[in-house]
Structure 1
Amino acid sequence: MDNLTPYYRLLKSHHLFTGFSDKELQHLLAECHLKKLARDEWLFHQGDPAPAFYFVIDGSIKLFRTNRDGNEKIIEVINNHETFAEAIMFSGQHNYPVNAQALKASTLLAIACTRYIDCITRHPQQALALAARLSQRLHAKINEIETLSLKNATHRVVRFLINGITDNLSREPVVELEIPKRLVASRLSIQPETFSRILHHLADEKIIHIKGKLITILDLERLLHYE
């Protein structure tokens, strides 16, 4: 555990682990291991055995599927201090349903599913925290499916920008594109050129300003009601 000690407080602050006693969390951490990935390195492939879920200490991981033509569909992008693949513990499956690949150099903490389940059986409050987390993800996916199936490309981009705002109190909030535009487009099920065209159209109308990976919302009210 010695090499994992620096991550103890980081893990302790995450809602999936806050209910554990110090002793229980130390025991869990003792059975975890670090996984370091270079940019574009694979963590696992769809169908691989799924003995663990992951906590992102630093970096960015894309979860995706590939069709027969080799085209990627981004399912989710996981960033610093977020977890992924925890749902596999209760799905009745024993294999990862998606691919996972690092978008940049990343450091992960692999947490054994069996050990975590053993811990939450002794801490019911943690089971509730996990259920809440999975419920949040389910609702997010339902909303995403609705947007992708019922809304046009412009609406998808607008919702992406609104959902990306982290400082709602700022007069001109900023959205940072943490992944390449082509991956954002894949996540929104539109072509990269369509995504870029819509962004530039919003910029021409003085609703947003684009500078590299940063998109400044110049007129939030117009963006909220943009069709």
Structure 2
Amino acid sequence: MRPTALITGAGRGLGAAIARALAPTHDLLVGGRRPESLDAIVEEIPEATPWPVDLLDHDAVAVAAEGIERLDVLVHNAGLAELGTVAESPAGRWRLMMEANVVAVAELTRLLLPVLRASNGHVVLINSGAGIRANPGWGAYAASKFALRAFGDALRLEEPSLRVTSVHPGRIDTDMQRAIVATEGREYDPTRFLKPETVARAVQQTILTPADAHPTEIVLRPWSPPGGNSER
């Protein structure tokens, strides 16, 4: 029997790339906020099962999680990013970043712990370079990613039957990144960023790491040859 993986935020960008990378070896549950957001990835990977649920609606998440009877891999990819300096960020922005990037992750993990324990499963947290170092204008987002890293550290210690990996990629060439760069008032140059497929391959290799090893943290940064121009 093939292992089963649930990927949140799988409708586009990095989540879709992770789904493509795992499709040859895993039965997939592809998560997204709305059913129509998953149409393209399910058409591309017909064997995948759509798992549409708004992760901020905890009652709906509880109902959706009840239908998962077996799970080997949980990839937390869904999240939000809103920029703003501390002076520009009201309480609502901080709450939204924490709710989307930490609380939703913690609650879904909690609900799925029984099936993850049963399979000695693997939880992969798609974090960020901002979860290691905060930059100006990224305070609320970085705080949520630092908290996500702490969540992963705690889960790793509390659930010794699970493998828990925090993945910290730098900026990735996605639609979300285009929106962020537009907010920053800069011209978008995709060559400055990591490719989603590159990060997805790192996630795939992490999941396929033999069971005698526990990959706890993976850090990826955009790179270009000397003289190039990449976001770090």
- Structures share a fold, TM > 0.5? no
Q: Between Structure 1 and Structure 2, which shows a larger proportion of strand residues?
A: 1
Q: Please report the TM-score for the alignment, with normalisation by the length of structure 1.
A: 0.26
